[in-house]
Structure 1
């Protein structure tokens, strides 16, 4: 699914915005998915690990 979305966004160009919406427990799935969309290369660790360092 991620590959399909990235391919579609690439085909549509820079004028496209992708809005991700979730409710309740869905955020635990959506947050890592959003991280996959914006990370170049392999995701080293999750957002929670980075947030707890600060």
Structure 2
């Protein structure tokens, strides 16, 4: 299954991306920090982060 990884920042854009991903049947992971946990193995991933 595809997974959208979001940065720890909450923004209007990230909220819209999260809702769209959930509607499309994707998993969503919002990071608690700026590093992706090493124990999370994800096959298909898209990352949305802000500059």
Q: Same fold (TM over 0.5)?
A: no
Q: Which has the higher helix share?
A: 1
* TM-score (structure 2 length as normaliser): 0.31
* TM-score (structure 1 length as normaliser): 0.30
Larger Rg: 1
